[in-house]
Structure 1
Amino acid sequence: MHRPPTAESEVADELAAVRPALVPRYARELPGARAAVLTRLWRGLAHEPLPWIARREASGDGLVLRLTDGRALHGTRADPYATDAYATVVRLDDVEHDDPARLMTDLAVPRSAAFAAELGHSVASLALSRAARPDHPKEWPVSDWEWEQRVIDGHPFHPNCRFRPGFSVAEQLAYAPEHRPVVELGLLPVPAGECLVSGVWPEWLRDGGRLVIPVHPWQAAHVLKRPCEQRLAAHPLMALRTLALPDGPHVKTALSARLTSSVRDISLGSVAASAALSDFGEAVAARTDGLLHITRTLGAVAGGSPDLAAVLRESPRLYASEEERVVPVGALATTGPARSPAWSASFARLALTVGLRLLDLGVALEAHGQNLLVVLSPAGEPLRLVYRDLADLRVSPARLARHGIPLPDLPTRMVTDDERALRRKLFGSLVAGALAGATGSAPALRAALETAVRDVPRSPDLAALCDEPLPAKALTLMRLSPGTAGDQWADLPNPLHA
């Protein structure tokens, strides 16, 4: 019987054509990639409010999920903060599954077929990423973009950690940061009168009466369908669509592809608000006694459409001395010190001090491992934080007013006085995201938090962090309910209560 091709076999066939030497390594990486994605999926099944799971029961060293149709899922206890692959097999009634795509197909719940296809592509792309990783990576890279390229597995908790729809194997090798390419950005001139500009668009990106907009080559080929004769070399960062110019700023390009969960364009509203938001972020960060710096937006432009837009932003490297290093929190797990209890506690203390201070002022950071960076001393100790990309902040007018801070003109979606929404934004990204990813397990996260919270000033926000379940985005639920707008949430066991 002829089986239809799978994402794994399709990637293997493409790889054989464009990089045949990687095919054996790709095949060896597939079982580990399946386990890594299955672990992320099992975390979602075990902890998110999925409507077709009736109840969850502990069973010895394992966990049983009773489905509303009478079936049962059997697996290991699910540590919601673990980043190592621990769920190698999940059993649906009497059938064992080591492939997350097959498991989701057999579950046959609403939208499971589409999600199964996404999981299959996530496995295949993850195996491709692992196959191309260097055998002996540098312990302490020099360039900021080299740190970003060390993150091989993508999002530590999302089942679609390496899902890149619309990208061929050749395009992943050419554009994805973990493959360490140099990307040639296109430069597209647009009449200034057709452009929306915020901040100062630099002279070197002007051509008489035209503004020159950096364009990602994938966007030029697949969306704009316009050739770009001029080119600008850049290094892709963790966000893939944001790239570091050699010895210069970072450029965030429009890339109308869905990565992990959603299409991330550069909206006209975010371009219009970027200068005011940058000034606001810088002013608020000044109240942290030097513990936090915000990378300033230098200029933003849209050529009449979100499909043709770019943002120029300072490099985080500007906020460290020559001897210090600036490391994205998502890359900390690739270094030795990040998993030591003393280091983790010191970093957690710094991160909570800054995050809670800004929350008290009225600003909830989206402080996940991609947006948040830490400045390390020459000895590797955490000194201060750098935050980039202000587009997903939540801002409370009432809290700002209490501190005498004027509310700038921001997009409506960013403004709320809902304390639950503000805390979800910070705790879900910083604690359930960045800190959990850096420490790697519930026991390690608990140890870091127990030490850190003793030294953080008391506040109602800290009490909520210590006493209530920890919010996290329900990443699996969101992929299974694409018609529901906005973020959906899960309440994870509070690691401080274990």
Structure 2
Amino acid sequence: MLLTDPAVTADDATSTALLNCLVREVCAPEQQVWPDEAHLVMRLPRAGVVLRAGLTRPPAGPTYRLAPPYEERREEEWIPAPWNRLANLVAGELELATGHPNPEFLAQVDDSHTALTAIVGSRGEPAADRYIGSEQSLVAGHRFHPSPKARQGSPADWLPYAPETGASFRPLWLAVPEHLVAEEGALDAFTALESYGPTVPPNRRLLPVHPWQLSLLADNPVLQRALADGSLLNLGPSELEAVPTSSVRTAYLPDADVFCKFSLDVRITNCVRKNAWYELTGAISLNDLLPPILEKLDATFLAEPAYRTITLPDRRLYEGLGVILRQGIKSLPGTPLLAGALTDPYSTVLADLPALSTLDGAQAWWDAYVAQVAPPVLSAYLDHGVVLEPHLQNVLICVDDDGMPIHAVFRDLEGTKLTAGHWDLSHIPARVAEALTYAPDRGWNRVVYCLLVNHLTEIAAAVADLHPALEQLLWRTARRHFATHEEHPQVRALLAGVPLPAKANLRTRWSRTADRGAAYVPVPNPLAVPRPL
């Protein structure tokens, strides 16, 4: 369930995210950070400023647990440093470090703060369904992103569709003439969804549309003409309820047990969230290629069997009205929970699991968790050349009645890639194949970052928040599950303790680099053991 603690503030969440990024990407690599009793002190070496934050517990792992108060050293005193002051200091340090400004940065941080303020002020009662509650519990968002809740548009536009507020909505149905329909994949998936829709006029097919999506396209003249002349018919809201998941644009329709990945074409956190034409085709290509391999991994990957869109003469409409269907969850064992919900500081999803109530139980829980999540990801890359993207919002963990992990579920074919040179993609259009592949080293960086830095490190820290004595022991347990792949040199390097690649969200936002080209910074490897004498 969601934690309705009035102490949750947009100011604190914004400050924490900024300082987490500053420590990881600037201060720690340049050895400008040190603990001081109950505080962490960090220096901005070029700006000549010293900051400090509270620590909720002594640092024992590779990630600090920062907390208010956030302060700046002025002469001999520590004075409060509000979130907007911290944003300006971070921007100043980055401009001095890189030699170029970024006029968008402070606006993005401000947008995120505005969104957090709206979210905190609009949160309702948590969903009774545990899975839906977990999807809608990410109030603070990415702990290592400078603007984790940046969301294009006014809160009045998107709050009715915000997962963090417990929202639900009814998709609209467009009736599209058959000759204007573009679709690929197992089209019976759409036939099943259409059975929940209104009666379809002759020679037309139904296209589910997100209401926010259609409002964002309302000024498009091609769309306006098509609606005015009856080429497209807006049949109004569906009788199906849709629940926005953590990604905002992907909604779960419980009655139909299907996900609709809509194309909102707005910037959310890092990227403009739309289904580009090559991503529509790419999802179906991967959905055809991967099942024989995914079946060997002893895990589930939620299939994306089909997409549908319209072929009016405007690519913005082809991409903006494209929707990808994704397999539902009702066939999964136990109760699926979003992995990210287990780590959000304003969620009690992890603490509510009975299995973690004791020290021994928490250790056994972690052992089971790593056993379900890590081996499929490693095997996919090392044995099959498949780059999964197992970050906290792309993994569901199925738990039994006591909360013990019993199965891992991976999702999102957009983030799934193939290792270049491992696969023959000559039958796929060149632009689609380009979007589907990573060079081997880049693919490995992505796997290690998502699995270890973004995911398992955060899960371990959340378990250690409940049982502080456990953190170092947790990583000794985790080594066993990585050691089963020790015949691969990449895994031997991990077990030897080489630094891990952490995605540099702060520096990527500053340089305005596309997410695919994001830089990485080295961070300590918790799998390391003491060096032999």
Alignment TM-score > 0.5, same fold: yes
**Alignment partner of 1:104 out of 87, 91, 100:** 87
**Contact 1:55 1:65 (8 Å CA) reproduced:** no
Query: Once the 2 structures are TM-superposed, how far is the Cα of residue 154 of structure 1 from its aligned partner?
Result: 2.1
- Which position in structure 2 is the counterpart of 1:297? 304
**1:237 paired to 2:230:** no
**1:356 paired to 2:400:** no
Query: Once the 2 structures are TM-superposed, how far is the Cα of residue 153 of structure 1 from its aligned partner?
Result: 2.2
Could you tell me how far apart the structure 2 residues matched to 1:113 and 1:283 are?
Answer: 48
**Alignment partner of 2:447 out of 400, 415, 426:** 426
- Which position in structure 2 is the counterpart of 1:366? 389
The residue correspondences of 1:48-63 to structure 2 (distance < 5 A) are: 48=25, 56-58=32-34, 60-61=36-37, 62-63=40-41
The residue correspondences of 1:370-409 to structure 2 (distance < 5 A) are: 370-399=393-422, 409=428
Aligned residue identity for 2:24: H
Aligned residue identity for 1:252: K
- Which position in structure 1 is the counterpart of 2:208? 214
- Which position in structure 2 is the counterpart of 1:86? 67
**Contact 2:279 2:435 (8 Å CA) reproduced:** no
Aligned length: 456
Give identity over the alignment, percent.
23
**Contact 1:189 1:210 (8 Å CA) reproduced:** yes
Aligned residue identity for 1:331: A
Aligned residue identity for 2:519: Q
Change (3 A) 1:380 1:207: farther
Query: Once the 2 structures are TM-superposed, how far is the Cα of residue 298 of structure 1 from its aligned partner?
Result: 2.6
TM-score under structure 1 normalisation?
0.81
**Contact 2:124 2:165 (8 Å CA) reproduced:** no
Query: Once the 2 structures are TM-superposed, how far is the Cα of residue 349 of structure 1 from its aligned partner?
Result: 2.6
Change (3 A) 1:77 1:279: farther
Query: Once the 2 structures are TM-superposed, how far is the Cα of residue 269 of structure 1 from its aligned partner?
Result: 0.7
Gaps of 5+ in 1: 1-24
- Which position in structure 2 is the counterpart of 1:435? 456
Query: Once the 2 structures are TM-superposed, how far is the Cα of residue 96 of structure 1 from its aligned partner?
Result: 4.0
Q: Which one is further off, 212-221 or 141-150?
A: 141-150
**Contact 1:301 1:310 (8 Å CA) reproduced:** yes
- Which position in structure 1 is the counterpart of 2:230? none
Once the two structures are superposed, residues 453-488 of structure 1 have per-residue CA deviations (whole angstroms, 9 ceiling, x without a partner) of: 214412323223332212121111112111567222
Once the two structures are superposed, residues 119-157 of structure 1 have per-residue CA deviations (whole angstroms, 9 ceiling, x without a partner) of: 23323322433344457x57xx53632331233222233
SS at match of 1:429: helix
- Which position in structure 2 is the counterpart of 1:183? 169
- Which position in structure 1 is the counterpart of 2:491? 462
Aligned residue identity for 1:216: H
**Alignment partner of 1:117 out of 107, 117, 135:** 107
Could you tell me how far apart the structure 1 residues matched to 2:392 and 2:380 are?
Answer: 18
Change (3 A) 1:198 1:92: farther
Change (3 A) 1:413 1:273: closer
- Which position in structure 2 is the counterpart of 1:255? 264
Could you tell me how far apart the structure 2 residues matched to 1:243 and 1:42 are?
Answer: 32
Aligned residue identity for 1:474: A
Change (3 A) 1:45 1:386: same
Aligned residue identity for 1:130: V
Change (3 A) 1:436 1:483: closer
**Alignment partner of 1:64 out of 42, 47, 56:** 42
**Contact 2:374 2:481 (8 Å CA) reproduced:** no
TM-score under structure 2 normalisation?
0.76
**Contact 1:198 1:273 (8 Å CA) reproduced:** no
Aligned residue identity for 1:296: A
- Which position in structure 2 is the counterpart of 1:158? 145
Could you tell me how far apart the structure 2 residues matched to 1:33 and 1:81 are?
Answer: 25
SS at match of 1:287: helix
- Which position in structure 2 is the counterpart of 1:480? 510
Aligned residue identity for 2:376: V
**Alignment partner of 2:20 out of 40, 43, 54:** 43
**Contact 2:391 2:454 (8 Å CA) reproduced:** yes
Could you tell me how far apart the structure 2 residues matched to 1:122 and 1:256 are?
Answer: 18
**Contact 1:348 1:449 (8 Å CA) reproduced:** no
Q: Which one is further off, 345-354 or 89-98?
A: 89-98
Aligned residue identity for 1:411: A
Change (3 A) 1:451 1:119: same
CA RMSD of aligned residues (A): 3.2
- Which position in structure 1 is the counterpart of 2:359? none
Change (3 A) 1:281 1:208: farther
Aligned residue identity for 2:399: L
**1:193 paired to 2:173:** no
Change (3 A) 1:426 1:407: farther
Change (3 A) 1:446 1:408: farther
Query: Once the 2 structures are TM-superposed, how far is the Cα of residue 400 of structure 1 from its aligned partner?
Result: 5.8
Once the two structures are superposed, residues 229-262 of structure 1 have per-residue CA deviations (whole angstroms, 9 ceiling, x without a partner) of: 4212311111111111132211111111111111
Aligned residue identity for 2:207: I
Query: Once the 2 structures are TM-superposed, how far is the Cα of residue 212 of structure 1 from its aligned partner?
Result: 2.5
Change (3 A) 1:102 1:131: same
Query: Once the 2 structures are TM-superposed, how far is the Cα of residue 357 of structure 1 from its aligned partner?
Result: 1.1
Change (3 A) 1:385 1:106: closer
**Contact 2:479 2:527 (8 Å CA) reproduced:** no
SS at match of 1:454: helix
Query: Once the 2 structures are TM-superposed, how far is the Cα of residue 81 of structure 1 from its aligned partner?
Result: 5.8
Could you tell me how far apart the structure 2 residues matched to 1:341 and 1:123 are?
Answer: 36
Could you tell me how far apart the structure 1 residues matched to 2:89 and 2:419 are?
Answer: 44
Change (3 A) 1:196 1:68: same
**Contact 1:66 1:72 (8 Å CA) reproduced:** yes
**Alignment partner of 1:174 out of 160, 170, 186:** 160
Could you tell me how far apart the structure 2 residues matched to 1:483 and 1:475 are?
Answer: 10
Gaps of 5+ in 2: 96-100, 195-199, 228-233, 312-317, 344-348, 357-361
Aligned residue identity for 1:120: D
**Contact 2:167 2:243 (8 Å CA) reproduced:** yes
Could you tell me how far apart the structure 1 residues matched to 2:218 and 2:35 are?
Answer: 54
**1:146 paired to 2:148:** no
Q: Which one is further off, 102-111 or 374-383?
A: 102-111
Query: Once the 2 structures are TM-superposed, how far is the Cα of residue 85 of structure 1 from its aligned partner?
Result: 4.5
Could you tell me how far apart the structure 1 residues matched to 2:277 and 2:64 are?
Answer: 36
Query: Once the 2 structures are TM-superposed, how far is the Cα of residue 496 of structure 1 from its aligned partner?
Result: 2.9
